[in-house]
Amino acid sequence: MQDFHVDFAVLLTAATLLTGIGWALNKWVLAPRRGEGVPPNAIVDFCQSFFPVIAAVLLLRSFVAEPFRIPSGSMIPTLLVGDFILVNKFAYGLRDPAFHTKFLANGEPQRGDIVVFRYPLDPRQDYIKRIIGLPGDHIAYKEKRLTVNGQEMSQEADGAFPVQGPHASGVVYRLSEDLAGVRHHVLVDPDRPSDDFEFTVPEGQYFAMGDNRDGSSDSRVWGTVPEKNLVGKAFFIWMSWDSVRTRVDFSRIGTVIK
């Protein structure tokens, strides 16, 4: 019961069960007794009308794709505050929406994947980061350069990036990093000291970092992500709201997340 908490998925599951019971009761018990032309009462009518809709939403949200909103700048420049993304719920296996127990295995995260997971210190919160280390990997971060299993990940300068927030302000460096074949951008702040470390990822765990390397609370701070906490793989931006200009950022809509 440690992983159970009441959230929208649990409420949606409960609503599906309750309306499903009402729908089934009406179809096989109440309707034959009422006789033709006699309308059902309000509760039965509600269940009959909304059970298919609620059930479809539950199935799509739990086992196909779930929408999320990016609330912080930890994944800048890949994901911006106000991006609305879709997460593939099938990528790492299917789990029940209430207790998060996996009942169908379907692959594991790969290095470079951007994943949504339940925050290890508080599973009621969803976090999004990039997978840097797989189980058994040796990770080192020195002078803001990443090394995985003894191989330094190459970085190339790719201009500057303006960042405002509690962890970085002004202009920071944007780098193009090759994470063992996955090319993506990261930000580093020259005014912040390097938080150097070395770490071997335990079995059944994943090491996650934000692309905004000096503006992210991640596995360097609170530890690794257990496999059981995985929610899904981020793959698409379907909407983006620019809060500074208070308008929709149409240039980001339809972006495939890499």
Q: What span, in angstroms and rounded, lies between the C-alpha atoms of 175 and 143?
A: 14
Residues 6+ positions from 30 with CB-CB distance below 8 Å: 40, 44
Location of structure tokens 């981020």: 234
Q: Confirm whether 144 is a catalytic residue.
A: no
* Residue in 74, 216, 219, 240 annotated catalytic: 74
Residues 6+ positions from 164 with CB-CB distance below 8 Å: none
Supply 191's token pair.
């005014």
Q: Confirm whether 251 is a catalytic residue.
A: no
Q: What span, in angstroms and rounded, lies between the C-alpha atoms of 246 and 111?
A: 35
Q: What span, in angstroms and rounded, lies between the C-alpha atoms of 2 and 5?
A: 8
* Residue in 62, 72, 129, 240 annotated catalytic: 129
Point out the residues that are catalytic.
Answer: 74, 129
